[in-house]
Amino acid sequence: MSVRSPQPPLLVPVIARVAGIGTPWRSDVVLANPSSAALSLTLHYQRSGTSTPVTASVELAPRQAVLHEDAVASLFGQGDGRGSLLLPPPREGPAPAVFTRTFSTQGGVRLGQGIAAAEPQPAGTYTLTGLFEDSRFRSNVGVTAGAFGLRATFELFRGSEGGPVGSVEQSVGPYDQQQWRLPDLFPGQAREGVPMTLRITLSGPGLPWASVVDQKSSDAVFLSAGNPAGVLLVPVVASVQGVVFWDTDLTLANLNPNPTSLTLEFLPENRDNRSGGTATRTLNLAPWETRTLERLVSSFLGLTNTKGALSVVSARPVTTACRVYTPSASGTYGQGVPVVPISTFSSQAKFVTGLRTRDGFRTNVGLVAPTDGVNAQARLYDASGALLAQRSDLFIPGRSLQQFRFEDLFPGATPPHPVGSLLVIPNGPLGVYLSVVDGTSQDPVFLMAP
């Protein structure tokens, strides 16, 4: 008799199919099987404001990856709307690897954000920073509830103005997804150029998040709320010319009644940084202060034409948000890069999907060793699950980053079509990410393997 796996469910906070006002939005979803046995999945889409989900079944062969373009319509047969995507644990086998991209199309140019699947966080208090509402950016704030619904209390902190400037409560039904413009939650509270932080208290399991949109380009980045921490690593920051120029903004928030000091250390790629990085700077945050370091690498760290990881060490737990982007005459095109507590890196094998190299896309693969040097094997799979290439000679120096173009990681390999998956087997703690860039706009989306 088959027994249901004790794994928790996975929840994609939002997928959408919305006509918009001249700007249609849709969500593409990739589901991949990380195992060498077939995998049966049952998926639930629940449109915002409703209580009854629509269900779809998916069968995946070993290592197979399936791209569902416009998933609300193609996978669930639904029309315009937005809502949550629930992936209950399979009866047998591991949870699937998931890659989602929600984007708009304007004049043939695709602009989007990567939204990761995650386990609902337990009831408690979480923080979310990097929010703006001004002439350059606008922010939407969302909560996607777990199985029992919840009440969410939002407290707003603004720049260096001290304690919360407002508080509001909202209710969200079971597995429902609700989102609000920040000025609707807190009318009249935004200030030009002033970064904001939210402290969000959930009465039950759920996922709080935000989408920050460039007012000029209309490109969005997705930010997930989490717990403040004192020892963190940003997997990649940059001020460098690639196919386009990349820059980085970092927001830091101290939601403590006492000041805190922070040390930021730049850890350049392809270099053993265990004895120290190439630039270290300190700063102090006042109680309740939120501060954004624009053009972090060049303006704050004093470095040019470089990329790497960034260590953030604080005397008290802080909240952080990072955005890596390319500037242009029509605004910025960027991706939200998660800032990861050092304690959460593991030596488990990492399986990540959504790698694209055709139809105008290119993919960069990042490998981040948070402490010591790591040896790793990497295997590339096609959408069918066929092994396309492998290598066992990877070495990532201690406290460093290695980022590869697909064609450099697997020279001469047949590009996967329409998507590929990557299995990385390390012998020590390692982070693995994909940065998938849409060539129509140079807009990237970022996905870090769980």
Residue 193: which region, alpha, beta or left (left: phi > 0; alpha: psi -120 to 50)? Answer: left
Asked whether the beta carbons of 435 and 364 are under 8 A apart, the reply is yes
pLDDT digits (tens, 9 = 90+) for 61-115: 999 999 999 999 999 999 999 999 999 999 999 999 999 999 998 777 889 999 9
Asked whether the beta carbons of 232 and 342 are under 8 A apart, the reply is yes
In sign, the C-alpha dihedral spanning 281, 282, 283, 285 is positive
Q: Is the pLDDT of residue 15 over 50?
A: yes
Q: Is the pLDDT of residue 23 over 80?
A: no
- CA dist., res. 386 & res. 62, Å (int): 9
What does the pLDDT read at residue 109?
84
Asked whether the beta carbons of 309 and 337 are under 8 A apart, the reply is no
**Confidence grade of residue 5 (pLDDT, cut at 50, 70, 90):** very low
Q: Find the mean pLDDT for residues 310-327.
A: 97
Structure tokens at 334: 């960027």
What does the pLDDT read at residue 21?
58
Burial class (CB in 10 A: 0-12, 13-18, 19+), 187: exposed
Total residues belonging to the chain: 450
- Going from the C-alpha of 428 to that of each of 83, 112, 199, the distances in angstroms are 38, 33, 34
Q: 329, 317, 256: which is closest to 288 by C-alpha?
A: 256
Specify the DSSP class assigned to residue 118. B
Q: 260, 250, 255, 193: which is closest to 221 by C-alpha?
A: 250
pLDDT digits (tens, 9 = 90+) for 229-260: 999 999 999 999 988 899 999 999 999 999 99
pTM > 0.85: yes or no: yes
Structure tokens at 133: 């509402």
Query: How much of the chain, in percent, has pLDDT values that exceed 90?
Result: 91
Single-letter amino acid code for the residue at 422 = L
Burial class (CB in 10 A: 0-12, 13-18, 19+), 425: middle
Q: 94, 141, 101: which is closest to 117 by C-alpha?
A: 101
Structure tokens at 251: 């927001």
What single string gives the DSSP state of each residue in 9-76?
A: PEEEEEEEEE--SS--EEEEEEEE--SSS-EEEEEEEEETT-S--EEEEEEE-TT-EEEETTHHHHTT
Task: Give, in degrees to the nearest 5, the angle at Cα 228 between 140 and 369.
Answer: 100
- CA 248 to chain centroid: 15
pLDDT digits (tens, 9 = 90+) for 276-286: 999 999 999 99
Q: Find the mean pLDDT for residues 188-214.
A: 97
What does the pLDDT read at residue 3?
42
Strands (E), 61-161: 65-68, 81-87, 97-106, 109-114, 124-131, 137-145, 150-158
- Domains observed in the chain: 10-114 (2.60.290), 124-224 (2.60.290.11), 229-344 (2.60.290.11), 350-448 (2.60.290.11)
Q: What is the mean pLDDT of the chain?
A: 95
- CA dist., res. 144 & res. 86, Å (int): 10
Query: How much of the chain, in percent, has pLDDT values that exceed 70?
Result: 98
pLDDT digits (tens, 9 = 90+) for 168-188: 999 999 999 999 999 999 999
Residue with the two structure tokens 């989306």: 445
**Confidence grade of residue 363 (pLDDT, cut at 50, 70, 90):** very high
What single string gives the DSSP state of each residue in 373-430?
A: -EEEEEEEE-TTS-EEEEEEEEEE-TTEEEEEEHHHHSTTPPPPSS-EEEEEEESS-B
